[in-house]
Amino acid sequence: MTAHSFQTSLPDFLPTAAAQLTESTSIALAQQIQQIDVETELSYLPIPTTYVCQGQGQPPLLLLHGFDSSVFEFRRLIPHLSAFRETWTVDLLGFGLTDRTVTTTVSPEAIKQHLYDFWQQLINQPVILVGASMGGAAAIDFTLTYPDAVSQLVLLDSAGLAAGPAMGKFMFPPLDRWATAFLKNPGVRRRISQQAYADKSFVTADAELCAALHLACPNWSEALISFTKSGGYNFLSDRIFDITTSTLIIWGRQDNILGTKDATRFTEILPSATLNWLDQCGHVPHLEQPKATAQAIQEFLAE
């Protein structure tokens, strides 16, 4: 496929830079991504929301990405999961390619409401909720509020126990713009990516592009500032005890972002939890070891 033919086959809501993707899984996801207007009480206008749905088999999987990320985070995992199960992933409110112009407030509560409205509008049956990093915290929060919507829970190097970044107190002009400009810097993003992997060779030009596509979306800075000012998911640690859903915890032994202590802490706190370690793996098992991650999920669902 030529660059021109690839570009013309992409949805028009994708940034033009998506035409420069080179990895087969990245190209496939770019071609499969869809957008739907989600009706929600958060706004009088519906929120254009980006998502991907692949595969067959019930109950479905619903994947939630991490902080300052998008559905492209699951580009390598979806092909393995969709081989045996209907697999959804969605750009959370304020993140990815989901519209940031309709509502200016981005908080865990707003993210949860938008996610519920998306689930109700498109899926409307219990799901296996899979959350990576901050997406794990969002999955925990969603499960606590809507337990009937979640049949099982999978946490990939999940946030939720550790306190979030203390950037919120600095989020006032002009420091808020400085902070987001810093995070937008390609060199900064590259160093964060390198820290996320055990094998640094995964930080390719394609991977960096996948991680940066959403930066071109209107109000990227405003949404990030709003979410950070909200305090994020710092309130969750005292409520995780209330989760009774059967849970799989997948954790990379070389996680240099969150460390490894929370893996065992989650196992001790959650009454029905199984821990699966991945060796030679960093903070993003779904990107670094997608086949092993999918196999662990498949075995968990078969038990």
pLDDT in tens, 211-255: 999 999 999 999 998 998 898 998 998 899 999 999 999 999 999
Query: What is the set of domains in the chain, with CATH numbers?
Result: 33-302 (3.40.50.1820)
pLDDT band at 44 (very low <50, low <70, confident <90, very high): very high
- What is the maximal distance between C-alpha atoms in the chain? 53
Q: What is the mean pLDDT of residues 105-116?
A: 97
Q: Would you state the pLDDT for residue 247?
A: 97
